[in-house]
Amino acid sequence: MTNKRGAAAAAALCLALSACGSDVNTVRWSIGGGDAPAPTATVPVECGGEQALTGEGSTAQKGAMDVFIAAYTRQCPGFQMSYTASGSGAGVKQFVSGIVDIGGSDSALKAEKGEVEDAAARCGGNPAWNLPLVFGPVAVVYQVDGLTDLTLNGAVLAEIFSGAITRWNDPAIAALNGGTALPDLPIAVVYRADESGTTDNFQKYLTAASDGAWTKGAGKTFNGGIGQGGQGSPGVAEAVAASRGAIGYVEWSFAQDKGLRMAAIDSGSGPVPLSVESARKAIEAATIKGKGNDLVLDLDALYASDSPGAYPLVLVTYEIVCSTGYSPGTVTAVKAFLNTAATAGQAGMTESGYVPLPDKFQSRLLDAIAAIR
């Protein structure tokens, strides 16, 4: 995040926290601006236990984690949380290896890859839970001189990222952008070179929204077979910014930081630009398919939706935690951090390129946090 954005987030947090310095503090929060309804919650936060928590994983949630950590250190003076943004794949590996207390991933643990079983083993034979804490849209970013407005859809994006469409003036792109002069310029695809939950979600979107044009499946590794890889979200944003004719996918906050142009998406009900409101409309339609307090979301229907005014290309970042199996001190600290993140930490989400927790997710999330033992 930029210094300006970090300062804005810090200021918001100072206003949001109602008490600091005590062992048990009550957190209330609000977010201004009027462009994203804020959930309302009051929860007790028991500060204590391990003084230094660790987390690792998703680069998509790095800006949000910066805000959460600032809220936590204010809420619980003397306690710290350090987070390494190394990608979702690394976050899962570090969590199941017991190296970090919390793993950050843009995709839920996958049973078919052995992640569910490995995580349970790390948690002393107890299930690990996927807790949706950060919601953020994925921007389709591009760098084409003179092209300030661009509309794409799932089918065209699938053909671009699989190499079936190779030039910007292709008739399929022109059909979605009637009246816009498109250059006869090669398309330079940029993708995430590292294992990434953002890539997984992007490919899931292409599968659901392309009417069969994307046949390469999903997963944390890009399957398109073309283009240039960028390391992490910053690497993709930098490569798109530096490459004439480039197109890529990156979390909204990174697109904002680089000042990149972002395509609108037409899911069948007209072009929808990316905004807090349009992303929130899509997020509110998502449902939970996980059992009990394992809050895995069913995003397939969301990605294929043609709801008017909804920007469907969004991802959720999960915090992967042990339901049971931490040391007593770690349990106390993990719950204090997560409760703060889910309440006071939501102040500043909009400014940092994310969407504040919808009410129904915040309520379920707080219940799950309370159940960690």
Are the beta carbons of 165 and 331 closer than 8 angstroms?
no
Beta strands in 108-183 (DSSP E): 128-143, 151-152
What is residue 268's DSSP assignment?
A: S
58 is in an annotated binding site: yes
Among residues 336, 280, 359, 349, the alpha carbon closest in space to that of 67 is found at 349
Pairing relation of β-strands 287-288 and 297-298?
Answer: antiparallel
List Cα–Cα distances, 25 to 2, 16, 17, 348, in angstroms: 30, 13, 9, 20
Please tell me the distance from the alpha carbon of residue 350 to that of residue 253, in angstroms, as a whole number: 10
- Burial letters 268-283, b for 16+ CB under 10 A, else e: eeebbebbbebbbbbb
106 is in an annotated binding site: yes
243 is in an annotated binding site: no
List Cα–Cα distances, 2 to 253, 258, 259, 265, 294, in angstroms: 10, 10, 12, 27, 34
In the block, residue with structure tokens 């809050």: 295
59 is in an annotated binding site: yes
* Residue 108 token pair: 């839920």
101 is in an annotated binding site: no
* In 139-196, alpha helices (H): 154-162, 171-176
Pairing relation of β-strands 271-272 and 264-266?
Answer: antiparallel
88 is in an annotated binding site: yes
Pick out the residues of the known binding site for phosphate: 58-60, 88, 106, 196-198
Pick out the residues of the known binding site: 58-60, 88, 106, 196-198
